[in-house]
Amino acid sequence: MSGLLPSPLLALRGIGKSFLGVRVLDGVDLQVRPGEVHAVVGENGAGKSTLMKVVSGVHQPDEGTIEFAGAPRTFRSPREAQQAGIGTVYQELTLLPERTVAENVWLGREPLRRGLVDRRAMLGRTAELLASVGEGSLPPDTRVGRLGVAQQQVVEIVKALALDARLLIMDEPTAALADHEVGQLYALVRRLQEHGMGVLYVSHRLKEVFALSSRITVLKDGRAVTTLDTADTSADQLVRHMVGRELSSYYPDPAQPQELGPVRLTVRGGGNRKLRGIDLRLRAGEVLGVGGLQGSGRSALARALFGAAPFSTGQVTVDGAPVRLRSPRAAIRAGIAYVSEDRKGEGIVAGQSVLDNALLAGRAVRPGRLGRGARTARVRELLAAFELRAAGENQEIRFLSGGNQQKVVLARWLALAPRILLFDEPTRGIDVGAKSAIHDLVRRLARDGAAVLMVSSELPELLGMSDRIIVMRDGRIAGELAAGATEEDVVALAVGTEREAAG
């Protein structure tokens, strides 16, 4: 590259960060120039959010240096980063809903006059700032709670401006916005850019990245793989950089066509607050993989089918008969089981014994003396078959490893002999050995005639385990892929590059 580039506003060199021995960031270099919108992309868990938290002072890097506005800096707290001129708009908004726009913008730094808050000055300056970003129509004395998400974001941004921020971090700013609001956000970001502000823009959505950014840094497994000039980059190239790894081959064999049985579950026109227009069929003997980004509706789909966050529209049938899955209890009675992605919060009762945990669903749905001995015997059998490692069946489950806890959760469900199994991230937080045991088990269940739906954010797992994959985006099924699809196919559907799905 030739010519004189402006000196960088922010320069990160060799940033490294570990949590509990897990390396989350590894030697990350990144530069943001004044007036540049610099996008940071990567898969879930690539380290994007951690990197943003390092820049905004929430986390301190273990190694590497941060240079801001030409001087090396260390930020021990978000406040120090703010004072230095780094503003952040978080995914979740942090405003006080009961206060006005102006009060939020000046919170903790209210302009004073003779020791009292100078309301007039506060309102006036807020109005100026709003006007400077083209939002002059927003009255500064409105209560924030009455504003929509998009307008609240404007307030967050103005709050950063009031602090004389020169760099703005935006972490998934469009995640909660409606389509027409996204356009307003674009305009706002461009105006900030004209003011010479640098913007670090984290997003899953390639469309936004291409529309807004001048350069893109790709993070993968905690490393900055490459930094690209947006103008010279295609969506396909970007996806390849984001994925770029080999598919390992220790997954069990997929189902043969003759192993597929009748249709177990159908959904037509299913929708609720997080899902729209869901149509799907699930056959006995198959593993249907569900891909998509975080918040795309992949977990919401599993929860809707289990009645935990039910469909409000559409029809569901199980084995041909219409069912109403209004609660987990109703779903369980229809022969459905669900393994949550949040094992600690929704899967186990930490203080109860292994046996109590494994018996929970059976006790709840089919209580009574009859069959009590048989039920316990069945659960013991399952735990033994899973080679559970525990000091005994009366040990509290919280002392078990993640993999062994998951085996107990599985035993709980299999004791009920469900015909439809919904797995949400079944191997999250589980060590490699137990992982492949769970993969084998999932396949064995399908082979024995169960219909399996498996949500996974790990692409190798999704591709390795599934007979068929649906990919979710924005609460809809963005497309379906047959076995043999590539990681690029899944990511392309998930982020929405307009490309035909293979298969």
User: Residue 382 CB, nearest distance to other proteins (Å)?
Assistant: 11
List all residues 6 or more positions away from 312 whose beta carbon is below 8 Å from its beta carbon.
271, 272, 273
Q: Which of 187, 377, 391, 482 binds other proteins (CB under 8 A)?
A: 391
- Tell me the residue type at 382: L
423 forms bridges with which residues in the sheet?
339, 454
- Residue 456 token pair: 């996974």
Contacts of 36 (CB under 8 A, 6+ apart): 9, 193, 198, 199, 214, 215
Piece of 4-12, 229-237, 388-396, 470-478 that binds other proteins (CB under 8 A): 388-396
CB of 20 to other proteins, least distance (A): 16
The DSSP code for 282 is: E
Q: How far apart are CA 281 and CA 294, in angstroms?
A: 23
Taking the least distance from each CB to other proteins, the nearer of 68 and 306 is 306
Q: Which of residues 368-387 bind other proteins (CB under 8 A)?
A: 368, 372, 380, 383-384, 387
- Of 3 and 392, which CB lies nearer to other proteins in the complex structure? 392
Q: Is residue 351 part of the contact set for other proteins (CB under 8 A)? A: yes
- Measured CA to CA, the distance from residue 149 to residue 97 in angstroms comes to 11
The residue from 122, 293, 348, 454 that contacts other proteins (CB under 8 A) is: 348
What is the identity of the amino acid at 277? G
The least CB distance from residue 349 to other proteins, in Å, is 4
**Site for other proteins contains 178 (CB under 8 A):** no
Distance CA 293, CA 354 (A): 33
User: Starting from the edge strand earliest in sequence, which strands make up the sheet with 37-41, in order?
Assistant: 86-89, 167-171, 198-202, 37-41, 215-220, 223-229
Among 361, 445, 446, 459, binds other proteins (CB under 8 A): 361
Q: Based on the shown chain and the rule CB under 8 A, indicate whether residue 83 belongs to the binding site for other proteins.
A: no
Of 104-112, 294-302, 393-401, 432-440, the segment contacting other proteins by CB under 8 A is 393-401
Under 8 Å between Cβ of 24 and 50: yes
Considering only 131-139, 253-261, 366-374, 448-456, which stretch makes contact with other proteins by CB under 8 A? 366-374
Nearest to 9 by CA among 29, 43, 28, 36: 36
CB of 442 to other proteins, least distance (A): 19
User: Please, which residue, 90 or 311, has the CB nearer to other proteins?
Assistant: 311
Q: At closest approach, how far in Å is the CB of 342 from other proteins?
A: 8
Least Å distance, CB 398 to other proteins, is 7
Window 278-337: residues binding other proteins (CB under 8 A)? 306, 308, 328-329, 332-333
- Tell whether residue 407 is a contact of other proteins (CB under 8 A): no
CB of 330 to other proteins, least distance (A): 9
Based on CB atoms, which residue is closest to other proteins, 364 or 432?
364
Residues 6+ apart with CB under 8 A from 231: 214
Q: Is 74 in the site for other proteins (CB under 8 A)?
A: no
Question: What DSSP assignment string belongs to 217-274?
Answer: EEEETTEEEEEEEGGG--HHHHHHHHH--PPP--SPP---GGG--SEEEEEEEEE-SS
Considering only residues 182-201, where is the footprint of other proteins by CB under 8 A?
none
Q: Give the burial string for 48-68 (b: 16+ CB within 10 Å, else e).
A: bbbbbbbbbbbbebeebebbb
Q: Map 358-382 to HEC letters.
A: HHHHHHHHCCCCCCHHHHHHHHHHH
Nearer residue to other proteins within complex by CB, 408 or 452: 408
- The 3 state secondary structure assigned to 1-67 is CCCCCCCCCEEEEEEEEEECCEEEEEEEEEEECCCCEEEEECCCCCCHHHHHHHHCCCCCCCEEEEE
Judged by CB under 8 A, does residue 349 bind other proteins? yes
> Can residue 501 be called a binding residue for other proteins (CB under 8 A)?
no
Residue placing its CB nearer to other proteins in the complex, 256 or 399: 399
Q: Which of 340, 405, 406, 466 binds other proteins (CB under 8 A)?
A: 340
Q: Return the residue of 390, 430, 453, 478 that touches other proteins, per CB under 8 A.
A: 390
**Residue 41 pairs with which residues in a beta bridge?**
218
Options 82-90, 117-125, 175-183, 342-350: segment touching other proteins (CB under 8 A): 342-350
Q: What residues have CB less than 8 Å from 59, skipping those under 6 apart? A: 17, 50, 53
Near other proteins by CB under 8 A, which window of 57-65, 346-354, 443-451, 491-499? 346-354
**Exposed/middle/buried for residue 353 (C-beta within 10 Å: 0-12, 13-18, 19+):** middle
Q: How many CB atoms lie within 10 A of CB 475?
A: 21
Q: Of 68-76, 104-112, 187-195, 351-359, which segment contacts other proteins by CB under 8 A?
A: 351-359
Shortest distance in whole angstroms from residue 356 CB to other proteins: 5
Our CB check for other proteins shows the closer of 5 and 370 to be 370
Q: Which two tokens stand for residue 94?
A: 């942090």
For residue 398, state whether it binds other proteins (rule: CB under 8 A).
yes
Cβ neighbours, 10 Å, residue 375: 19
Question: In the complex, which residues of this chain contact other proteins (CB under 8 A)?
Answer: 306, 308, 328-329, 332-333, 338, 340, 345-353, 356-357, 359-361, 363-365, 367-368, 372, 380, 383-384, 387-396, 398, 412
